[in-house]
């Protein structure tokens, strides 16, 4: 099993956390996003989107981090994915929400805040930053309220939903996002970060200028 990835990507953290939980040690191919390495023709032959991560399992190629997580959890019958229909639907709901709303807004804001430190000559897109911060203001309260009386997103046990949502937050401090007031969500985030398999997937954060 081979994984193309970039360690600082939240989407990589999602997949690596699941692999850690399942005891999977993939062959790793690191592509530096800050240097445009995903646009290498050889890699685009594997993933024409020029995005990471991409999983190669034998002859099977799979991109999109949430799809990879689901594939691994199902293949290995992991307890990160509930067995009952409604539990699985709940996980899929949160994974869809993470991609479309929560993670998208945070990702936009994080990128515009940190990219100038790592991509030479990058000019901040103020419109994208504004949009990201607006999405944070709209969608972060949803998760904050949801986990106010829950240990994890689905209840007492962590699931793929926790991994995907928590991975979206790994750069929030570095990007100085306005999240300090969401105390319930941050307490939940700290709980996820204490899970060994998630903690071990976190990259060593680089210093910012």
Q: What is the pLDDT of residue 131?
A: 98
CB contact set of 200 (below 8 Å; sequence gap of 6+): 16, 17, 20
Distance CA 197, CA 199 (A): 6
pLDDT of residue 209: 46
Is the model's pLDDT at 116 over the cut of 50? Answer: yes
159 or 121, which is more confident?
159
Question: Residue 3 — φ and ψ, nearest 5°?
Answer: -125, 120
Instruction: Kindly tell me if the per-residue pLDDT of 101 is higher than 70.
Output: yes
Give the sign of the dihedral formed by CA 36, CA 40, CA 43, CA 49: positive
pLDDT of 205 > 80? The answer is: no
Average pLDDT over residues 34-44: 95
pLDDT tens digits, 181-201 = 999 999 999 999 999 999 999
Confidence of residue 103 (pLDDT cuts 50, 70, 90): very high
Question: Any idea what DSSP says for residue 19?
Answer: H
Q: Given this model, what pLDDT does residue 206 score?
A: 59
Neighbours of 143 (CB within 10 A): 23
Across the chain, mean pLDDT equals 96
* Cβ neighbours of 205 (radius 10 Å): 11
Look at 124 and 138; give whichever has higher pLDDT. 138
Instruction: Output DSSP code: residue 41.
Output: H
pLDDT in tens, 50-78: 999 999 999 999 999 999 999 999 999 99
Q: At which residue do the structure tokens 């099977």 appear?
A: 60
**Residue 155 DSSP code:** B
pLDDT at 208 over 60: no
Domains and their CATH numbers in the chain: 2-75 (3.40.30.10), 85-199 (1.20.1050.10)
Q: Where are the beta strands (DSSP E) in 86-136?
A: none
Return the SS3 of 23.
coil
pLDDT at 120: 77
Q: How far apart are the first and last CA of the chain?
A: 37
Mean pLDDT of 118-139: 92
C-alpha to C-alpha distance for 156 and 34, rounded to whole angstroms: 38
């Amino acid at each position: 099993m081979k994984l193309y990835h970039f360690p600082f990507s939240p989407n990589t953290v999602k997949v690596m956390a699941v692999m850690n939980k399942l005891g999977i040690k993939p062959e790793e191919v690191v592509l530096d996003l800050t240097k445009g390495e995903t646009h290498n023709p050889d890699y685009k032959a594997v993933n024409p989107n020029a995005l990471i991560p991409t999983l190669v399992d034998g002859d099977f190629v799979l991109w999109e981090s949430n799809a990879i997580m689901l594939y691994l959890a199902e293949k290995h019958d992991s307890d990160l994915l509930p067995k009952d229909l409604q539990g699985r639907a709940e996980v899929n709901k949160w994974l869809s929400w993470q991609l479309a709303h929560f993670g998208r807004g945070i990702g936009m804001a994080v990128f515009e805040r940190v990219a100038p430190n790592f991509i030479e000559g990058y000019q901040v897109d103020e419109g994208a930053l504004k949009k990201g911060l607006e999405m944070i203001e709209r969608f972060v309260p949803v998760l904050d309220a949801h986990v106010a009386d829950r240990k994890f997103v689905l209840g007492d046990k962590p699931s793929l939903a926790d991994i995907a949502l928590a991975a979206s937050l790994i750069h929030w401090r570095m990007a100085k996002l306005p999240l300090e007031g969401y105390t319930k969500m941050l307490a939940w985030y700290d709980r996820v970060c204490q899970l060994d398999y998630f903690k071990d997937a976190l990259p060593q954060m680089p210093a910012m200028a």
